[in-house]
Structure 1
Amino acid sequence: MAQKSNFSARKGKIGKTLRELGSRYYETLSKARFSIHKRSRRSKLKKEMAELERLYYAKGEEGSEEEVSEDVDIFLTEKANAPIETINVTYPVKPPFQFANIKYDPEVMELVYTPVDISLTQQEEEYLSTISLLLDNINIDPAILLRDKEEHLREKVMEIIEKYGMPLDAFQREKIIYCLLKDFTGYGPIDVLMNDRYIEDISCDGHDIPLYVYHRIFESIRTSIYINELDLNRFVLKLAQLCGKYISISQPITDASLPDGSRINLTLAGEVTKKGSTFSIRRFKQVPISPVELMKYGSVSGEQLAFFWLLLQYNKSILVSGSTAAGKTTLLNALCMFLKSSAKIVSIEDTPEINLYHDNWIQAVTRVGFGRGGAGSSSSGFESGFSGISGISKRPGDISLYDLLVAALRQRPDYIIVGEVRGAEAYTMFQAISIGHPSLGTIHSGSLSELMARIESQPMNVPRPLFAAIDCVAFTAIVSGETERKVRRTKEVIEILDLDFHTKELLTNEVFSWDPLADKFTFNKSFLFEGIAREFGVRESYLKGEMMRRAELLNCLCRYGITNYKDVTRIVQSYYINPEETYERIKEEGEKIRAKNEDSIY
């Protein structure tokens, strides 16, 4: 109980610091630039920044980073529920140099996200410009940059400062190094956005137009960032280079992955987008969201997750379906944490989004070919036709999802994961399922009728009898209630049982449904349990009891705050080895784990 009190006290202290120091930082760093160079003011700022950094990223007795992040979540959620006209919140992104301010702007009558960077004095800006020019004239071994570009750049900057005798103290040096790292190795004008863990999407719709972001707490909001035409064209070219991709007037569109794994779509100049160059970034979460975290957000229930867990254990195939940004890949990635550690997994994707805590995993990614495309490909580098069943590439070296899936079937996988089913690979995937290869994947559709219409038409062309080989389809959606706050929910889980050969209609069962008024998930009846019982020689009553026990285990993890994906994965693997002991141990020691925030007990 004493530890709980300390945690509450720390939470209150952090909240107070947010309110008192946050607004002062915003005012000082973004407006009172002229005062920062004064020694007394700078000393005070350094002390305040150190205190804020210590509070948010403290270790040991002050609390773990996860606990502190949870406090900031609570604080921001409280602010988001306040009247929009009163919202004015500042929170740390990468202290002591990066913060974010979200404030209601009466002129545009909406919230505006303002990145708050450290400010430089005129003298510091002159030194920054000089150092930047000198760095351009230094020959740097590319091999060194690949190993540790940030550390190497820091060393070169310090050498220049010492060589030319620049009168900069330690804090000023850190400020200049930060600015150089942001431009040379970071993301320049959107560096704060890329470091903000609350940002899910970043969208630039053209030059001299405000960038928009999708904030995990405040949802879609505009930013104070505007990029002119020339700088935007240069920035799009830089982003393409960071991805190792080519974009030009002749090929003005490209899809790629940034070094951190984020998915990006780029267009150059006004060739295909009339407002100029654009980019759209889907942020990649470096730390995967665990199934227990999804429970904490209310996206899925413990019973649903336990049901999926049992299906995967008994080699059933699951398809996650939903609209754009409905959390399909997030749910798919979370379900993969229920796979046995000994299982061989092969995933195939256009852009790498799946992130598994699994050693026996082959991650395959498509590749764009070389040279100009032949029939069926456009000058932009995108395929305009349909992938041939023969798997013949459209350009030399072109590797499609279909090619990867055919290769995966030759690798004897226990599970095949298709990041997004959308082309001719669907036919091969459902063939693989029908002959006993358990598979998981995502697809864009909001209901079973929409799903069937898409599956049976070009370019997938999957016959209905073949589609019936899938065992379960989970439908995710973005919904909003009376408060108009958007949330993600797994609104429906449908079992695909068989095909009526007289009517050609699918025989289905809605095993889970979501009540939007009560915001609750209801378990109905599972006919798949009957099939598993016959196939594997287990009692149906055992499966139902096992589902409830696993649901209670997951509920315990959620209740005790054990949400880290590594912890959850290890507990799942421990459950496979000794279910009774793991279940009892979590129930008995869960509170201790929560209080101490241990890495893991296994």
Structure 2
Amino acid sequence: IRDSMSDSEREKLAEARNLVQKKLLQTMDLRRVDVSRMNEDELRTTTAALIHEIIATEPGLPTGVDKARVAKAVLDEAVGLGPLEDLLADPKISEIMVNRYDQIYIEKGGKLTLSDITFSGEKAVVSAIERIVAPLGRRIDESSPMVDARLKDGSRVNAVIPPLALKGANITIRKFSKSKLQDTDLIKFGSVTKEIMEFMHQAVHHAANIVISGGTGSGKTTLLNVLSNYIPEDDRIITVEDAAELQLGQPHVVSLESRPPNVEGKGAVTIRDLVKNCLRMRPDRIVVGECRGGEALDMLQAMNTGHDGSMTTAHANTPRDCIARLEVMTLMSGLDLPIRAIREQISSAVHIIIQQSRFPDGSRRVTHVTEIVGMEGDMIQLQDIFLFKMEGYGPDGKIRGKFIATGAIPELYQSLQERGISVDLSIFQKDRVL
């Protein structure tokens, strides 16, 4: 995609693309090609044939331009998503950010870089957005200038057009990973150690309620997906998400997805609606992709009323911030609860907070595994079990550091011991490097 094209080659390609696009529209008008009656395959075949015909007979094409490249660029923009087609096809790219038609950033290996490919113009970006949202029965226009959608492959799309987007229509795509990461992958990447993963395995298996906390793009959903696969196979699991990303391997899973309002502004089904409803579906475990608002109260009540082993994620930068965030989200439920009552709910509902962080070198790591150990006065008491200690940067610019145990033995392991279940307490030895 980002090959070594010279500036002059890029200019020639853009000139040829614009010329062929104009000719394509003129030819379709003259021949009265009725695209409304065609299915997707027919439209692509017909358009491709016309493009090749135009390129073969057009004398005005710049000399030396790569005709195959021109044909692909015009076809992608005419019936596909334009330059996004190639970016979506590249498995190494995890996110695509179109700031305006001639500025597209991509995330590769955790690093953001400016791509050297562009749309032909502002109209082409809006057309791509319309192609994404139209099959979903949604629209984007001045009266509805923001939209959340999903591609066929599961990738999440957010689009904003003027007047809200001041520099032109923009698109953000978080690609759906086709290959499901396993616990061994996270250990291999250095995101976590074998010992910490084993602790998390035991916590999930023995029904601890877990909140994964972290910033945007820190890997919360990836970790939630890995941990969800530790849930025993005979449990009935209900997942609730904004956009379906979780890929659970157990046989007894019901997946629910929220729905935005339709064109008339009706028919919205929120995460909160789904969390309330799934309590009537006899779940053993509830897994909520992300708590953002009042559904946090329903989630806490579910955790407190026999649905142990439930999990969710929240946007926060530290475990202490995560507690504060849960408090704020619970207040967003509209119930006028005293802050102490909310803290008591959180303290009794949540057992473990796992903090996930993204570092400047693009790497993602679990930085805290923290236990909620109860209330002292009006404050929730936290106890770190494992920490990642950053030690600086290596000569390659990569983060250096180590995972250590704090010496605290979690209540979960103490109760497992009391039940006669064999557990390895040596991993909690103070200052042990894992």
For residue 235 of structure 1, the aligned residue among 125, 128, 139 is 128
**Alignment of 1:491 onto 2:384:** no
Higher helix share: 1
Query: In structure 2, how many angstroms separate the alpha carbons of the residues matched to 1:173 and 1:191?
Result: 18
Partner of 2:62 in structure 1?
none
**Post-superposition shift, 1:130?**
9.2
Query: In structure 1, how many angstroms separate the alpha carbons of the residues matched to 2:48 and 2:164?
Result: 44
CA contact (8 A) 2:109 2:362 kept: no
**Post-superposition shift, 1:215?**
1.6
- Counterparts in 2 of 1:256 and 1:406: CA distance versus 1, 3 Å: same
Structure 2: runs of 5+ lacking an equivalent: 58-65, 392-399, 429-433
**Post-superposition shift, 1:343?**
2.6
**Post-superposition shift, 1:347?**
1.0
CA contact (8 A) 1:445 1:451 kept: yes
**Alignment of 1:213 onto 2:106:** yes
Partner of 2:206 in structure 1?
314
Partner of 1:466 in structure 2?
345
Query: In structure 1, how many angstroms separate the alpha carbons of the residues matched to 2:18 and 2:126?
Result: 28
**Post-superposition shift, 1:244?**
3.8
Query: In structure 2, how many angstroms separate the alpha carbons of the residues matched to 1:459 and 1:229?
Result: 38
**Post-superposition shift, 1:448?**
2.4
CA contact (8 A) 1:312 1:338 kept: yes
CA contact (8 A) 1:422 1:459 kept: no
For residue 404 of structure 2, the aligned residue among 518, 522, 539 is 522
**Post-superposition shift, 1:356?**
2.4
Deviation track 1:476-526 (CA, whole Å, cap 9, x = no partner) reads: 11124xxxx2311100000112223xx122233211111212522123432
- Counterparts in 2 of 1:355 and 1:245: CA distance versus 1, 3 Å: farther
For residue 178 of structure 2, the aligned residue among 279, 282, 286 is 286
Aligned residue identity for 1:420: E
Query: In structure 1, how many angstroms separate the alpha carbons of the residues matched to 2:128 and 2:9?
Result: 27
Partner of 2:195 in structure 1?
303
**Alignment of 1:369 onto 2:240:** no
**Alignment of 1:433 onto 2:303:** yes
**Post-superposition shift, 1:427?**
0.3
Partner of 2:61 in structure 1?
none
Query: In structure 2, how many angstroms separate the alpha carbons of the residues matched to 1:33 and 1:352?
Result: 40
More divergent stretch after superposition (246-255 vs 449-458):
449-458
Deviation track 1:514-565 (CA, whole Å, cap 9, x = no partner) reads: 121252212343222113344xx224xx1227989xxxxxx9xxxxxxxxxx
**Alignment of 1:406 onto 2:279:** no
Aligned residue identity for 1:199: I
Query: In structure 2, how many angstroms separate the alpha carbons of the residues matched to 1:547 and 1:512?
Result: 9
- Counterparts in 2 of 1:331 and 1:134: CA distance versus 1, 3 Å: farther
Structure 1: runs of 5+ lacking an equivalent: 1-21, 35-116, 374-395, 549-554, 556-602
Partner of 2:84 in structure 1?
190
Partner of 1:512 in structure 2?
386
Question: How many equivalent residue pairs?
Answer: 399
**Alignment of 1:274 onto 2:274:** no
CA contact (8 A) 2:213 2:356 kept: yes
CA contact (8 A) 2:289 2:313 kept: yes
For residue 359 of structure 2, the aligned residue among 451, 470, 479 is 479
Query: In structure 2, how many angstroms separate the alpha carbons of the residues matched to 1:547 and 1:455?
Result: 30
Partner of 2:93 in structure 1?
199
**Alignment of 1:453 onto 2:349:** no
Deviation track 1:309-338 (CA, whole Å, cap 9, x = no partner) reads: 111111111110011111111111111222
For residue 146 of structure 2, the aligned residue among 239, 248, 253 is 253
Query: In structure 2, how many angstroms separate the alpha carbons of the residues matched to 1:450 and 1:205?
Result: 31
**Post-superposition shift, 1:339?**
2.1
Query: In structure 2, how many angstroms separate the alpha carbons of the residues matched to 1:276 and 1:255?
Result: 17
- Counterparts in 2 of 1:257 and 1:514: CA distance versus 1, 3 Å: same
Query: In structure 1, how many angstroms separate the alpha carbons of the residues matched to 2:228 and 2:133?
Result: 31
Partner of 1:265 in structure 2?
158
- Counterparts in 2 of 1:33 and 1:358: CA distance versus 1, 3 Å: farther
Query: In structure 2, how many angstroms separate the alpha carbons of the residues matched to 1:427 and 1:421?
Result: 10
Partner of 2:60 in structure 1?
none
**Post-superposition shift, 1:29?**
13
CA contact (8 A) 1:243 1:259 kept: no
Partner of 2:431 in structure 1?
none
Aligned residue identity for 1:497: V
Please state whether the residue corresponding to 1:466 is helix, strand or coil. Answer: helix
**Post-superposition shift, 1:414?**
2.0
Deviation track 1:152-173 (CA, whole Å, cap 9, x = no partner) reads: 5676679989999x99xxxx99
Partner of 1:578 in structure 2?
none
CA contact (8 A) 1:242 1:258 kept: no
CA RMSD of aligned residues (A): 3.9
Please state whether the residue corresponding to 2:232 is helix, strand or coil. Answer: coil
Identity over aligned residues, as a percent? 25
Taking the TM superposition and a 5 Å limit, the aligned residue runs for 1:32-43 are none
Query: In structure 1, how many angstroms separate the alpha carbons of the residues matched to 2:284 and 2:135?
Result: 35
- Counterparts in 2 of 1:275 and 1:130: CA distance versus 1, 3 Å: closer
CA contact (8 A) 1:132 1:180 kept: no
CA contact (8 A) 1:346 1:363 kept: yes
Taking the TM superposition and a 5 Å limit, the aligned residue runs for 1:63-74 are none
- Counterparts in 2 of 1:367 and 1:136: CA distance versus 1, 3 Å: farther
Deviation track 1:252-292 (CA, whole Å, cap 9, x = no partner) reads: 112222222111211122x2122122221112112222221
